[in-house]
Structure 1
Amino acid sequence: MSDSTPPQHPQYTYPPEDDELSLIDLWNIVWKRKWPWLTFGPLFGIVGTIIALNATVYFKAEATLAPNTDEDTGGGLAALAGQFGGLASMAGINLGGGGSTENAIATLKSRQFLTPLLTTNENLIALFPDEWDSDTKTWTVSKDRRNNDKRPTDQEAYDRFVKSSFGVSQDKKTGIVTVSIELEDPVKAAEWTNALIAQLNAHLRTQARQEAQKNLDYLNNQLSQTQVIEIRESLYGLIESQTKNAMLANAKEDFAFKVIDPAIVPELKSKPKRGLIVIASGFLGGIFGLFLCFVLYLKEQQQA
């Protein structure tokens, strides 16, 4: 009779995982070496407080705008554009009125529009207060410029304004546009915001008036040179549309945007967020201190 007892396999035992650390172990490591995070946490917090108290204070002024609809600006001539669009295209004529909101915003952000407004000496001082000596009434500069002039260049003025001070946003659902300017001087921030909107409306109104007059001159010239009744009727329709555009451009001050809520002098600073700076600095110091705790622990383990 054969032995049916199954073979016995040796039992293997695994050593405990000495490398695993529990939360209690981690706490003991940190608590026994608590001087780094107790030191660097408050130290970084103090440094953050000093930075926050000495940071330059800025104020943001905002204005709320509503784009003029196509009907308001004479662009509601879509039916006319469809009827005479081929003839207008051949003549190089734009039947639109004030143009789209996207074009108006693009103009507002453009270098060609902003540079003349920013590069007056008074506005440059507001943009570069750190480079202006109010006692000697002269420009000081900490970097070399190509023109060997201490006065900020047009490019520098535009870049600083667009990147640091100027903001334009549009709500895609409502179409409402918000324009904001952030400066050290709250009065200037509000004045610049309102002036910029007024300048934009005036600029686009002038462009529309000039374009309409140019189109009218061309159309009247073509009308005098043709006797074909169908073409003359088309030209009369185009002349009517351009006359309407010219009338709206002359009469409508809020040509591209209606000002719903003009900018007022802000009373509360927009930055710096001093409390956030202090909290973030203290937190960063505490994290750095904890990192040092574990570095010291690993060093002790290597030496043991």
Structure 2
Amino acid sequence: MNEVNPPTPPPYPQYPYPPEEDELSLIDLWNIVWKRKWPWLTFGPLFAVLGIFYALKQPEIYRGEATLVPNSEEQGGGGLAALAGQFGGLASMAGINIGGGGSTETAIATLRSRHFLMPFIESEAAQKAIFADEWDEESKSWTVSKERRQEDNRPTKLETYERFTKECLNVSEDKKTGIVTLAVELQDPELAAAWTNQLADHLNAHLREQAKLEAEKNLEYLNKQITETRVLEIKESLYGLIESQTKNAMLANAKEDYAFKVIDPAVTPEERVRPKRALIVVASGMLGGFFGLFLCFVLHFVQTAKRQESKA
């Protein structure tokens, strides 16, 4: 029996492969950089030298830092909290606040407020410390002139407040522990520490005075309501409210650390927080080096394009 060979399949069509694109290896990249080394060898040291001049020109800033903890009694704990739960509805109807001066967030907001800070920093001596880079001690004059400033170029109160809160004052709260860090950054290290401690003391005094005035106002209102009402149940509730406000007034009069306890007061710092001169110089040199490398590759691709055009 004759074997029949299967038919030979047609050959697969051969498609030409696209030409491989030129790829640059690490050696090629190194050759490009080394062949045109003058940009990064020039701009790297040049930027580093400029960074040295810039870093030396920057003023030295020192940081006075204090650690505070909220006063738990002031935050409305203990018996005041129980009274708030018992008579809170009646107190809210009467427009009375049971408890102390408020939460930690309220105290920090008060510390940052214009009402609290402006009397502290409105003096000319305070402005000279905040705007130390604009005050010339030799000529005893302000060197920067702006439209909204006074006739002698002295900063306005609002401008002083904005500069102080944005560049000098730093307040942060640890949500887990409740610890508050208060810091003031100035060119004078002794003044930075002194202002930090003074702000903590003034904040306690300010909130304590507010609590005293509020408690006295509430007691006056409650005593008036007791004389006018004849319902026994309401009188009993009012007596409870009077007790809570009396405790508030006693607490405000007795405690100097009304809102915060200072567990670590600020001391005169010995090391500056800025400028980081070494970091500025290194970053400037690296920036100049990267700029030089960028020029190397730009020159390489320009010359390659011209070579290809001439061949074509």
- Judge conservation of contact 1:167–1:179 (CA < 8 Å) in 2: yes
Q: State how many pairs are aligned.
A: 303
Is 1:217 matched up with 2:211?
A: no
Q: Is 1:201 aligned to 2:166, yes or no?
A: no
Which of 258, 273, 282 is the equivalent residue of 2:261? 258
From 233, 243, 246, the equivalent of 1:243 is: 246
In structure 2, relative to structure 1, the CA distance for the partners of 1:265 and 1:146 (3 Å cut) is closer
The structure 2 residue matched to 1:51, chosen from 48, 51, 54, is 54
Question: 1:14 — aligned with what?
Answer: 17
Query: 1: distance between equivalents of 2:178 and 2:6?
Result: 91
Q: Which of 120, 141, 150 is residue 117 of structure 1 equivalent to?
A: 120
Counterpart Cα distance in 1 of 2:121 and 2:13:
87
Cα distance in 2 for residues equivalent to 1:138 and 1:25: 61
Q: Helix, strand or coil: the match of 2:183?
A: strand
In the TM superposition, residue 9 of structure 1 has moved relative to its aligned partner by: 3.1
- Map of 1:115-264 to 2, 5 A cutoff? 115-145=118-148, 148=151, 150-264=153-267
**CA–CA distance in 1 between the matches of 2:12 and 2:138?**
94
Question: Structure 2 vs 1, CA of residues 72 and 144 (structure 1 numbering), >3 Å: closer, same or farther?
Answer: closer
Q: Is there any run of 5+ residues in structure 1 with no aligned partner, and where?
A: none
Q: Deviations over 1:171-192 (max 9, x none)?
A: 1111000001111110110011
Q: Secondary structure at the match of 1:143?
A: coil
Whole-angstrom CA distance in 2 between matches of 1:123 and 1:147 = 16
SS at match of 2:54: helix
**Letter in structure 2 aligned against 1:243:** T
3-state SS of 1:167 partner = strand
Mapped partners of 2:146, 2:227: distance in 1: 62
Residue 301 (1) aligns with residue 296 (2):
no
Q: Is the 8 A contact 1:201 1:255 kept in 2?
A: yes
Say yes or no: does 1:63 pair with 2:45: no
Kept in 1, the 8 Å contact 2:74–2:259? The answer is: no
Alignment match, 2:310: none
Q: Alpha-carbon deviation of 1:143? A: 2.5
Tell me the equivalent position of 1:276.
279
| Greater shift in the superposed pair: 134-143 or 259-268 | 134-143
Q: What is the letter of the counterpart of residue 108 of structure 2? A: I
Q: Is the 8 A contact 2:74 2:99 kept in 1?
A: no
TM-score (norm 1): 0.95
State the match for 2:26 in structure 1: 23
Contact 1:219 1:239 in 2 (8 A): yes
1:247-278 Cα distance to aligned partner (Å, 9 max, x none): 11011100000000000010000001111111
Distance verdict in 2 for CA 1:255–1:233, change over 3 Å:
same
One-letter code aligned to 2:238 = L
Letter of the 2:195 counterpart = W
Shift of 1:219: 0.6
1:103 to 2:106 alignment: yes
| 1:13 CA drift (Å) | 4.2
Distance in 2 between residues matched to 1:112 and 1:160, nearest whole Å: 16
Q: Give the residue type in structure 2 aligned to 1:183.
A: L
Report if aligned partners of 1:74, 1:248 keep a CA contact under 8 Å in 2: no
Deviates more, 1:248-257 or 1:108-117: 108-117
> For residues 103 and 77 of structure 2, what CA distance do their matches in structure 1 show?
9
SS at match of 1:206: helix
Task: Report how far residue 17 of structure 1 moved.
Answer: 2.4
The alpha-carbon distance between structure 1 residues 146 and 279, as it changes in their structure 2 partners (threshold 3 A), is closer
Deviation at 1:22, TM superposition (A): 1.0
One-letter amino acid of the structure 1 residue matched with residue 267 of structure 2: I
CA contact (8 A) 2:40 2:293 kept: yes
